[in-house]
Chain A
Amino acid sequence: MSLQPASTEIAARTAAVISTMKDLEGPLLPILHGVQEEFGYVPQEALLVIADALNLSRAEVHGVATFYHDYRKQPAGRHVLKLCQAEACQSMGSDAIAAKVKQALGIGFHETARDNSVTLEPVYCLGLCACAPSAMLDGQVIGRLDDEAIDEIVAEVRR
Chain B
Amino acid sequence: MNIKADFPTLIQETDYGTPESTAEKQVTLTVDGRSVTVPEGTSIMRAAMEGGVEIPKLCATDMLDSFGSCRICLVEIEGRNGTPASCTTPVGEGMIVHTQTDRLDAIRRGVMELYVSDHPTGWNEKAGTGASEFDAVAKSVGLAENRYGVEGRNHVHEDGVAPGHGSLAVDYIARDESNPYFSYDPAQCIVCSRCVRACEEVQGTFALTIEGRGFESRMVAGMHEDFITSECVSCGACVQACPTDALREKTVLEKGMPERSAVTTCAYCGVGCSFKAEVKDDEVIRMMPYKDGKANHGHSCVKGRFAYGYATHKDRILSPMIREKITDPWREVSWEEAIAYTANEFRRIQYQYGRAAVGGITSSRCTNEETYLVQKLVRQGFLNNNVDTCARVCHSPTGYGLGQTYGTSAGTQDFDSVEFTDVAVIIGANPASAHPVFASRLKKRLRQGAKLIVLDPRRTEMVKSAHVEAAYHLPLKPGTNVAVLTSLAHVIVTEGLFDEAFIRERCDWAEFQDWASFVAMPENSPEAVSKLTGVDPELVRGAARLYAKGGNGAIYYGLGVTEHSQGSTTVMAIANLAMATGNIGRPGVGVNPLRGQNNVQGSCDMGSFPHELPGYRHISGEAVRDIYESLWGVKLDDEPGLRIPNMLDAAVDGSFKGIYIQGEDILQSDPDTKHVASGLAAMECVVVHDLFLNETANYAHVFLPGSTFLEKDGTFTNAERRINMVRKVVEPKARYADWEATQELARAIGLDWNYTHPSQIMDEIAKTTPSFAGVSFDLLDRVGSVQWPCNEKAPLGTPIMHVDGFVRGKGKFIRTEYVATDERTGPRYPLLLTTGRILSQYNVGAQTRRTENSMWHSEDRLEIHPHDAENRGIRDGDWVRLASRSGETTLRALITDRVSPGVVYTTFHHPDTQANVITTDFSDWATNCPEYKVTAVQVAPSNGPTEWQKDYNEQARQSRRIKSHLEAAE
Contacts and interface: CB of A to CB of B under 8 A. Distances in A.
Contacts of B166: 69, 109-110, 122
A8 interface: no
A69 B223 contact: no
A131 interface: no
Given A57-B206, A59-B207, A60-B206, A66 B212 contact: yes
Interface string B24-50: 000000000000000000000000000
Given A59-B222, A59-B223, A66 B211 contact: yes
Contacts of A60: 206, 209, 466
A1 interface: yes
A38 B895 CA distance: 31
Interface in A76-115: 109-110
B167 interface: yes
Contact of A59 (B229, B231, B464): B231
A133 B864 CA distance: 63
A44 B466 CA distance: 18
Interface in B449-504: 464-469
B536 to A, nearest CB: 22
B756 interface: no
A63 interface: yes
Interface string A53-80: 0011111111100110100000000000
Interface string A26-52: 000000000000000000100100010
Nearest to B464: A55
A59 to B, nearest CB: 4
A76 to B, nearest CB: 15
User: B166, B466, B468, B469: which has the most chain A beta carbons within 10 Å?
Assistant: B466
B224 A62 contact: yes
Given A47-B223, A67-B213, A55 B468 contact: yes
A55 B465 CA distance: 6
A2 B211 contact: no
Nearest to A4: B896
Given A51-B466, A58-B223, A63-B211, 7 more contacts: A2-B465, A55-B468, A59-B207, A59-B220, A59-B222, A59-B230, A66-B213
Interface of B: 166-168, 205-213, 220-224, 229-231, 233, 464-469, 856
Contact of B231 (A1, A47, A122): A1
B442 to A, nearest CB: 16
Q: Is the interface of A mostly helix, strand, loop or mixed?
A: helix
A109 B469 CA distance: 44
Given A2-B231, A66-B168, A122-B166, A59 B856 contact: no
Interface residues of A, number: 20
Given A69-B167, A122-B166, A55 B211 contact: no
Given A1-B856, A55-B466, A55-B468, A63 B231 contact: no
A62 B222 contact: yes
Closest 4 pairs (CB-CB, A-B): A63-B209, A57-B206, A57-B466, A62-B223
Interface of A: 1-2, 44, 47, 51, 55-63, 66-67, 69, 109-110, 122
Contacts of A122: 166
A51 B206 CA distance: 11
Contacts of B224: 62
A72 to B, nearest CB: 11
B207 A57 contact: yes
Contacts of B464: 55
Contacts, number: 64
Contacts of A44: 223
Contact of A62 (B211, B229, B465, B469): B211
Nearest to B164: A110
Contacts of A2: 231, 465
Given A62-B223, A66-B168, A122-B166, A55 B209 contact: no
User: A109, A110, A122: which has the most chain B beta carbons within 10 Å?
Assistant: A110
User: A2, A51, A63, A122: which has the most chain B beta carbons within 10 Å?
Assistant: A63
B210 A63 contact: yes
A100 B55 CA distance: 54
Contacts of A58: 222-223, 231
B209 A62 contact: yes
B205 A57 contact: yes
B222 A55 contact: no
A21 to B, nearest CB: 18
A111 to B, nearest CB: 12
16 contacts: A1-B233, A1-B856, A55-B467, A55-B469, A56-B467, A57-B207, A58-B222, A58-B231, A59-B208, A59-B221, A60-B209, A62-B211, A66-B212, A66-B213, A67-B213, A122-B166
Contact of A56 (B212, B466, B856): B466
Contacts of B206: 56-57, 59-60
Contacts of B856: 1
Nearest to B167: A69
Contacts of A110: 166
User: A44, A55, A66: which has the most chain B beta carbons within 10 Å?
Assistant: A66
B596 to A, nearest CB: 22
A61 B210 CA distance: 11
B518 to A, nearest CB: 39
Nearest to A1: B231
Contacts of B469: 55
A1 B222 CA distance: 11
Contacts of B230: 1, 59
A122 B230 CA distance: 34
Nearest to B840: A1
Contact of B209 (A1, A59, A69, A109): A59
A57 B231 CA distance: 8
B432 to A, nearest CB: 12
A51 B466 CA distance: 8
A47 B222 CA distance: 11
A67 B212 CA distance: 5
Nearest to A108: B163
Contacts of B212: 66-67
Contacts of A55: 464-469
A62 B212 CA distance: 9
A51 B465 CA distance: 10
A1 B894 CA distance: 12
Contacts of B222: 57-59, 62
A62 B220 contact: yes
Contacts of A63: 209-211
Nearest to A121: B166
A51 B511 CA distance: 50
A56 B204 CA distance: 11
User: A55, A59, A60, A122: which has the most chain B beta carbons within 10 Å?
Assistant: A59
A69 B164 CA distance: 13
B312 to A, nearest CB: 27
A71 to B, nearest CB: 11
Contacts of B208: 59
